[in-house]
Amino acid sequence: MKHSHFSSRLSHWVGAQVVVVGMLAPSGIMAAPLAFPEAEGFGALATGGRNGQVVHVTTLADSGTGSLRDAVSASNRIVVFDISGVINITTPLVVAGDNITLAGQSAPAGGITVYGRESSFSSRSNIIVRYLRFRQGMGDTDSSAKCVNITDGQNMIFDHVSVQWGRWDNFGVTGTSTTVTLQNSIIGEGMPPQRFGSIMDSVQDITVARNLWIDNESRNPKFKANGQDINNVVYDWGNGGGIIGGHSSADWNEDLINNYLIAGPTTVDGFLTFYANTDLVYQTGNMVDVNQDGQLNGRAVVEADFAYDATPPTFQTSAHNNPSVPVTVVSAADAYALVVAQAGTCQLRDAVETRLVGQLQSLGKTGAIISTTGSEADVGGQPTVTSVSWPAGYDTDGDGMPDAWETAHGLNPNDPSDANGDYNGDGYTNIEKYLNDAADLACPGSSTAPADAGAPVVDSGGPPGTDASPQSTPDSSAPGADASVLRQDASISGVDASAARQDSSLPEDDASRLDASVLSGDAASSGVDATVGGRDAAAPTADAAGVFVADAVAAPPTDTGYSGGSSAEDSPSGASTGDDGAGPASGSAAASAGSSGCSCTAGPGRTGDDWGMAPWAMSLLFLARSWGGSRRRRS
């Protein structure tokens, strides 16, 4: 069986067998093209704007012709960027169409940052987003808005994105959302009032893999979902905890596999919190390092760690969630190295991403959670990015593919219709082939082995929350130590339909269990909290034109912390309704290794000048990797 291009890249990192979680296509059958060759998990089959119109972003203006807002105003589009820099948005950016690809890897040097307000993908379907930065910040007066919001969205994949400074959550997937992947991304530095990382609330079929969650007070992520949490790194969590459960009266199947939780300067006790017996948890290969000694030398997570706030989950003996496109699994230590090398926009990383990855690499020495009265200015604010545009003659026919790349691949630089052709019959259109090559250049695999590439240090004997003495070999008796258990149960052919459900038939009432001063009553809702009855008509929304309508309802209370505080982990946002303390739905209802040495951490990116030869470099890359062979296949 041939590995995918991404599996080959991971094999280089771990120098050993890679394990996949999920199902493979029967031998000899060509699987449908993925969103892109490295796509994995539940959202991997999104097609985005495939066969749609190629639309160019040519200005950093908030609106108007050539703007990003205009580009996402209709369906069936592949959006490419002819300019780099910061797009300052003054109203929420509402993606108003389905079947859209946002290809940030197409931008010149510096990449694209969307800054200033929420970006909403709510009520949308079939979306691909790659190599973009989204930052909200305290300039957004809607304190209950998220940086990236997906309410009632379906069939989406976010890859190599960077999401910071969200006021309610950085990245929210709520409502009836289903079939979503978030991979290879950086989610960090939540802003007041909540300062939270990410919420997955009442979500079916979600994969989060190889992401960095950093400097968030809590929710790294919150997993009230049927989904997978695989090979993620959590650094410097706060009072609210690291990865947290759904603590709901409905059952949620949560597969936690080979994640690494690493304490930072702001970290307090409790890295696995807010669980209830309705959290059906399969956990294996997870590691925790809390000694802040500048070395990656943690211990294995054990079941007792999940009972920090007294109520443990119900542990499962095998993984439950089983996407048709498998997730490649490496050890927690190798996941750390991969995240250091490739999370976020990789070689396009800006100063914020570079700073955050540097904090992680300090392994406990640096990092901070923004204070309850702070802002992004406390950490330097949004950096200035020099705007670069592609030169004249770069893409003569405007089909999104550089002239040199088209020539190298036998296409006509003067024929815009060939963007949606398929010159080698692999199922990807020509514009997609170019964008896949551009992504490979934006984030190449490292030529150096990751730190701690060997087996993780495991010890099952120490008390929860403390590091064990390093061992030379894993303790095979410890949970998750045996790599052979890092697999799906072969008898599981898919998601258990009886468990994969919304809470609609369950009268959720968590009020009787306050979770250490956490108000989490789901009284009469379908999978959401006590005063939450669905989308709030009075909540912040945006119409089809992207015009923000302010919510007249009182703003949510400021989070005063988890330990001994009076605020709620799932506190409802004032009198408004929404999704499990996640803030109101936004937008589209009205719109229809510490020393791994990777070159990706602070690369200079691409300029209009150096791209004169880059398409030819991509051509060589293309030939070397035998494009027509195993690279685009999973078999």
Residue type, 589: A
CA distances from 620 to 9, 270, 600 (A): 18, 50, 20
CA distances from 484 to 8, 12, 51, 476, 606 (A): 20, 20, 41, 11, 42
Nearest CA among 2, 99, 6, 83 for reference residue 47: 99
DSSP string over 113-140? EEESS-EE-TT-EEEEEES-EEE--TT-
Cα–Cα distance between 513 and 429 in angstroms, integer? 53
- Cβ neighbours of residue 169 under 8 Å, at least 6 residues apart? 146, 147, 190, 194, 196, 197, 198, 199, 219, 582, 583
Cα–Cα distance between 207 and 177 in angstroms, integer? 12
Cα–Cα distance between 577 and 249 in angstroms, integer? 19
541-542 and 548-549: which strand pairing?
A: antiparallel
Are 444 and 342 in contact, with CB atoms under 8 Å apart? no
Cα–Cα distance between 202 and 56 in angstroms, integer? 36
Q: Which of 117, 219, 632, 634 is catalytic?
A: 219
To the query of whether residue 219 is one of the catalytic residues in this protein, the response is yes
Tokens describing residue 392:
């004249």
DSSP string over 235-246? ES--TT-SEEE-
In Å, how far from its chain's centre is CA 92?
Answer: 20
Show which residues are catalytic: 219
